[in-house]
A and B are shown apart, each in its own frame.
Chain A
Amino acid sequence: DIMMTQSPLSLPVTPGEPASISCRSSQSLLHSDGNNYLAWYLQKPGKSPQFLIHLGSNRASGVPDRFSGGGSGTEFTLKISRVEAEDVGVYYCMQALQAPFTFGPGTKVDIK
Chain B
Amino acid sequence: QVQLQQSGPGLVKPSQTLSLTCAISGDSVSTNSATFDWVRQSPSRGLEWLGRTYYRSQWYNDYAESVKTRITINPDTSKNQFSLQLNSVTPEDTAVYYCTRSYRWAYDVWGQGTMVTVSS
A→B interface (CB under 8 Å)? 35, 37, 39, 41, 48-51, 54-55, 60, 92, 94, 96, 99-103, 105-106
Q: Complex: how many Å from CA A35 to CA B64?
A: 25
| Size category, B interface | 10 to 19
Would A100 and B46 count as touching, CB distance under 8 A?
no
What is the CB-to-nearest-CB distance from A69 to chain B, in angstroms, rounded to a whole number?
Answer: 11
- List A contacts of B62 (CB < 8 A): 99-100
Contact between A55 and B47, CB atoms less than 8 A apart: no
Within 8 A of A (CB), among B46-81: 46-49, 62, 64
- The minimal Cβ–Cβ distance linking B86 to chain A, given in whole angstroms, is 16
Interchain CA distance A92-B100 in the complex, whole Å: 16
Once the chains are docked, how many angstroms separate the CA of A80 from the CA of B77?
41
Q: Considering only CB atoms, which chain B residue lies closest to A53 in the complex?
A: B106
A94 and B107 contacting across the interface, CB-CB below 8 Å: yes
CB-nearest residue of chain A relative to B107?
Answer: A51
A29–chain B nearest beta-carbon distance, Å: 10
Contact A51 B106 (CB under 8 A): yes
